[in-house]
Amino acid sequence: MQLRDLALPLMGLGILLTIAKSENITHDTPPPGPVHIAYWEKWTGFEGDAMQAVVNAFNKKQNKIYVDLLTVSGIENKTLLAVAGGDPPDVAGLFGPNMAQYADDNAIMRLDDFCRQKGISESDYIPVYWDMGVYQGHLYALPSTPASTALHYNKQMFRDAGLDPEKPPQTIEEMDAMAAKITKLDAQDRFVTAGFLPAEPGWWNWGWGEVFGGRFWDGESKITADDPGNIRAMEWVQSYSKKYGAAKLQSFRSGFGNFSSPQNAFLSSKVAMELQGVWMYNFIDQYAPNLEKPVLNWAAVPFPHPADRPDLANHTFTDEDILVIPRGAKHPNEAFEFIAYVQSQEGMELLCMGQKKHSPLTHVSPEFYAKHPNPYIKLFADLAKSKNAQSPPKIAIWPEYKDELSNAFDAIALLHKTPQEALNDVQERMQPKMDEHIERGNKRKAMEGTRP
């Protein structure tokens, strides 16, 4: 027999051995010692480092459980597929708005009993952050880091326009008037700077309705896209397009650099007032050191409310990153041990300080605020406690509904549709989707009910 004849079988054997070995590596038999739990998280950079510090602290604190933190991009899709494939991580760090979809599909475990055992309860949290993990009466997720929004404004631009930088707008009407004063056009009638733009930064294009008292659904089964508050908000959005011209606004905005760069519209002093989240401080710190002297050059204040609706003061968009235990996780009890540590004041403050956010807990140590680099951190925590703190609607079809609202915003801002028309279109499209979702859910329940 010649060596050549052996080549193919040998190669085959080699491949088989490699596969066997890699299986061996990935499916290690548990060594004696701590239980390893797999934790997938989306963060990179300093945000990832902050969570790694919490994981390290937990691993050091006890010797029964060892958390393996793995950074995963596109985490909501990969967790989904891992659950479907029956091999999910023990803990997954998803985005808050994923919860309803996952809970609706029974893809994540209920945490009610775990919390009871560990003595974690609603009263420990700022209500809006606890509530974001609740779906149809059960708790499915606990927060990792929270976020709320406020109006950020550039004091220097206020001064340049002859406005008092210590008197930020209280009402929408005041803000519009100040914006008009700050806005500068060049000889060819093109924007040089703008006071405020409803389409900037574009993350809450769907959400302005809430600022004007609008609601997106009735909390049960009815979509309310054409709620009067939503229409009023979109009329306000359109007033900017009517005043300055949709095309002009568009070409001004297309000149803005990436959000995460010094060419960011707010950081490069092109837009004076912007709705932004608690994270904005990090970007100011990193990309715009000239804005950094906070007492001097920028400030954050509650977003203005319509003058005739003082009851809508202190509106804020809240959101949070969440920790969940996927269905099919191998070590749910150990997973919750870790989640519970993150929920402790010690773990939470370590994490939120590292990420420079506020804590979602009601009890916060005085040192946390004293040491926090963001001078407005208390404002963000206080806004989250406001009765007008809003979080994304917990409907399973929300991702689709939100896309539809964003699309309506485009049509309104481009003056292609009136607010009434655009929102009616959303209503007409989404209500049947909602009905269908409920109907199919019932169908499924009926079918699953008949099974043994």
* CB of 73 or CB of 188, closer to other proteins: 188
Name the minimum Å distance from CB 411 to other proteins: 6
Neighbours of 139 (CB within 10 A): 22
Judged by CB under 8 A, which of 447, 449, 450, 452 binds other proteins? 447
Q: Pull the structure tokens for residue 201.
A: 């930064």
Q: Tell me the one-letter amino acid at 233.
A: A
Q: Considering beta carbons, is residue 80 or 299 the nearer one to other proteins?
A: 80
Nearer to other proteins by Cβ, of 24 and 442: the residue is 442
Closer residue to other proteins, CB minimum distance, 128 or 329? 329
Is 243 among the residues that bind other proteins (CB under 8 A)?
no
Nearer to other proteins, 16 or 307 (CB): 16
Q: Which of 34, 52, 429, 438 binds other proteins (CB under 8 A)?
A: 429
Assess 254 for contact with other proteins (CB under 8 A): yes
By CB under 8 A, name the one of 30, 387, 436, 442 that touches other proteins: 436
Binding mask 63-102 for other proteins (x = CB under 8 A): --------------x--xx-xx----------------xx
Q: Does residue 153 contact residue 297 with C-beta atoms inside 8 Å?
A: no
Q: Nearer to other proteins by C-beta: 253 or 394?
A: 253
CB environment 412-450: b (16+ within 10 A), e (fewer): bbeeebebeebbbbbbebbbeebeebeeeeeeeeeeeee
Give all strands (DSSP E) within 205-263, no chain letters.
Answer: none
Tell me the angle at which helices 419-450 and 228-244 cross, rounded to the nearest 10 degrees.
140
- Residue ranges of E strands in 278-337: 298-301, 316-317, 319-324
CB of 194 to other proteins, least distance (A): 14
Q: How far is CA 126 from CA 314, 365, 435, in A?
A: 15, 15, 33
Comparing CB distances to other proteins, the nearer of 280 and 396 is: 396
User: Does 247 participate in binding other proteins (rule CB under 8 A)?
Assistant: yes
Cα–Cα distance for residue pair 429/423, rounded to 1 Å: 10
Q: Would you say 23 or 410 has its CB closer to other proteins?
A: 410
CB of 13 to other proteins, least distance (A): 17
Which position among 62, 221, 251, 365 is part of the footprint of other proteins (CB under 8 A)?
251
Q: Do strands 142-147 and 319-324 pair parallel, antiparallel, or not at all (unpaired)?
A: antiparallel
Place of tokens 């990309």: 287
State in angstroms the smallest separation of the CB of 329 from other proteins. Answer: 14
Of 149, 150, 174, 173, give the one whose Cα is nearest residue 164. Answer: 174
- From the CB of 444, what's the least distance to other proteins, in Å? 5
* Per CB under 8 A, 418 contacts other proteins: no
The dihedral built from the CA positions of residue 130, 132, 134 and 136, taken in this order, carries a sign that is positive
Residue with tokens 């979509």: 223
Our CB check for other proteins shows the closer of 13 and 247 to be 247
Min CB(282)–other proteins separation in Å: 23
Options 126-134, 286-294, 302-310, 407-415: segment touching other proteins (CB under 8 A): 407-415
Residue choice 99, 115, 234, 397 for contact with other proteins (CB under 8 A)? 397
- Contact between 49 and other proteins (CB under 8 A)? no
Cβ-proximal residues to 326 (8 Å cutoff; 6+ apart), any chain: 79, 82, 83, 88, 89, 90, 92, 107, 108, 109
Provide the β-strand partners of residue 273.
153, 196
Phi first, then psi, for residue 155 (nearest 5°) are: -65, -35
The footprint of other proteins (CB under 8 A) covers 77, 80-81, 83-84, 101-102, 105-107, 188, 247, 250-255, 396-397, 399-400, 403, 406-407, 410-411, 414, 416, 429, 436, 440, 443-444, 447
